[in-house]
Structure 1
Amino acid sequence: MFAYIVRRLVLMLLTLLGISIVIFVLLRIVPGNIVDILFDAAGMVDPADKADLQRQLGLDQPIVLQYLHWIGGLLHGDLGYSYVSEKPALQEILPRIPITARLAAFALLFSASFGIPLGVLSAVYQGSRLDYALRVVSLSGLSLPSFWLGLLILMASVAMFGSIPIFNPDPKTFGEMFSTYFLPSMAVGFRSSALTMRITRSSMLEVLRQDYIRTARAKGASNTSVNFHHALKNAILPVITVVGIEAAFLIGGLIVTETVFNIPGIARFLVEAIRWRDYPIVQNLVMLIALVVVSANFIVDMLYAVFDPRIRYS
């Protein structure tokens, strides 16, 4: 087990290294840079001033030296300075991380709380009216874009209460936090819950046809014990995979939702940084998202061994 963990950690580091190279090179080959954007916006054409600004930002150096300088600073906790605000990148990014993390956590909680139980019910009552209704709901969740659902929620809020919900970036109590993040997390989590429901239903149907389930029923086990103790316990692995993938996706996939609800999170900030070619911000945010993705996959693999004792890593 220890050797497997070490190999996975090494693979994670190599993956992050490859991602850092790809994002760094792609940002440099995209037409236009921060210097061009600033000079075009200001109407300045003095080549000497432009060359001086490139030198100050280090953009006149070879791309290899720029990459080594960025990675060296990253390893020492120095994320550089934002080209737009001229503030430390860490100072710009840190306040936005809790906002996106809370939104993703609430959306994931909403997804699992509704998706797994409803998926179990849909499988247990296969072919019933409840099953058909839940399947329609799940297909609707997979079909509706989160931004469109968010707009519908805002329109419904205006129609019912006469105003749109105002986002509170610094809630003091859990009640304030819940009321702040409930609507946007529901808009995001509805699709995730639909996917979780479909996977849970499919996995449960496969397990419910196994011989040991019929044996448990023949021995007089209750439906609750059979469905949740025997069946769900053995059908949970595909669900864990989906939940882990969704958790990783939510961190970087909240761009539209944060824009619709005017949430100052890292996903929305990433889009703004890309538009301004703010290299330090974009590079560090992409690396943060990549770290979350590879960490989520690592945690999912570890949870396999927890939920299924038959799985042993070597």
Structure 2
Amino acid sequence: MKILVIGSEGFIGKSLVRYLQLRQHDIWCADIQKKTGCSEYFQTIAPEAFDDIFQNNQFEVCINCAGSASVPFSISEPLIDFTLNVHLVANILNAIQKWNNNCKFLQLSSAAVYGNPKTLPIPENATLSPVSPYGVHKMHAEQICQYFYRYFKVQTAIVRVFSAYGTGLKKQLFWDVFNRIESNGSLQFFGTGNETRDFINIDDVTRAIGFVADKGTFEGNIYNLAAGKQTTIRDAIQSFLEVLKCDRPITFSGENRIGDPLFWEADIRKISALGFSPQVSLKEGLKNYALWLKG
């Protein structure tokens, strides 16, 4: 397939490009940073760049990995976060609708749209109640995808990525833990430690996206992308400390950071029906991540 990956230099985008290339797809890349390694590269800065891309090229699939992915940033810079996570999606879909209407569009969303769900595991039809500007903006982007299908018949699908981690990630929990250890910093963290996340390794993330691109339904459909298993923050940090051979004690402040949800575990039956199943355990994934962090 001829596939355009937007946000090809980000954490998920870069891994996805490698995965799809290994499967002999014709991969074209777009990002604000210019890199090589794809059949063709577009440097996307202005909104009109997408008109140029889709007017002069025809793609079978477009996967959007671009945008901001930071809850704290969305709180400090909500307008920029809106531009990167909502306005960008509208620009891409508008260009597809005008110039490449048969192109399937796959949007990477986030579990942040759920906020604090009432029941676990979380099905895709759960009530959305985001607790951060980031979650609200991801929800708006999903709505835009669905109305572009409803009103313009642009084929769209959405994957809600839960707590992705692994090689290439330079932020979030495990990156923070590693840097605190390296600098002999404090090992006190927000919350109680009993909060949970559904961690999924980047290798499984890219495989799952591949399954949706190949076999998913593009009628505004939504798929949870996770391991389908919750792990407490305390246990996750402790497992990583064991991998790093660090025996320092960890503590928790008892105060939750604004915008952070409490408990997550995904219902992954829908994406599993496409043939996907997680292959990388948290222990194995953390070992690989530690090797990468250590250079």
Answer 1 or 2: which has greater helix percent.
1
Q: Give the TM-score normalised by structure 1.
A: 0.21
Q: Give the TM-score normalised by structure 2.
A: 0.22
Greater RCO structure (CA 8 Å; 6+ sep): 1
Answer 1 or 2: which has greater strand percent.
2
